[in-house]
Amino acid sequence: MNPSEWFQLFLQQLKAVPLLEWIGVSFGVAEVLLARANKIWLYPCGIVSVMVSTYIFFHSGLYAESALNMYYLVMSIYGWWWWQRRKDHDTPPVTRATKTEWLKTIGIVVSAFVILYTVLTKFTDSTVPVFDSWVSATAWAGMWLLAKRKIENWILLNISNAFAIPLLFYKGLPLYALLTLFLFIIAVLGYIDWNKTIKKNEQKTAFSFE
């Protein structure tokens, strides 16, 4: 199939996208933009997005992605609660992951991949168990870091995004594939913004001790 035929196929898929998918993707875009801006409203938008996406992914045979969205739901509620419980409700500081947090992150990726792959191969009719498990496992770790306001969340989320884009196209979900491409770009910009914020805070801390 030549590039022109691929483009025509993509346009046909895009025209066939149902309203529910547009709703899920729209709230997903709002969530990531608010996350980049470090605004608390990222969580309610994320809750709506994951509830819609869970249904869509399950019926598309992406069972690990569906489970991932349920995890997103839990972590969004946790992140929202963690933010709100701060007495002053100021934006939580952005920091770098410690060695202990990196070990926990690796543990999440490995354990999640093994569990998901085992479940998908033994208990479902998944046709993409390896990719589905890997995309979800790395995203699980990224979401945990995001809830902790760690800059490395963008790295883990983009590892997930890089594998998710072709997977979603393969599964006939072009709008979600485009959303994931958009998320990839935003994650790069988010990392740059958060890195600048951390450096400013480090400079302020260093100056206060002088």
pLDDT tens digits, residue range 47-88?
898 889 888 888 888 898 888 788 778 878 887 887 777 655
CA gap 183, 177 in Å, rounded:
10
Backbone dihedral angles phi then psi of residue 150, each to the nearest 5 degrees = -100, 135
Which pLDDT score is estimated for 36?
A: 67
- Calculate the alpha carbon distances from 166 to 1, 70, 193 in Å: 16, 22, 27
152-204 pLDDT per residue, tens: 999 999 999 999 999 998 888 888 888 899 889 988 988 998 999 999 888 77
Q: Are 67 and 132 in contact (CB under 8 A)?
A: no
In the predicted structure, residue 100 carries a pLDDT above the cut 90: yes
Mean pLDDT of the region 102-124: 95
pLDDT for residue 22:
82
Closest C-alpha among 18, 19, 13, 35 to residue 190: 35
Alpha carbon distance 84, 61 (integer Å): 36
The pLDDT, as a whole number, for residue 99 is 95
pTM above 0.85, yes or no: no
Alpha helices in the chain (DSSP H): 3-15, 19-36, 42-59, 63-84, 99-123, 129-147, 153-170, 174-208
| CA-atom Rg of the chain in angstroms | 18
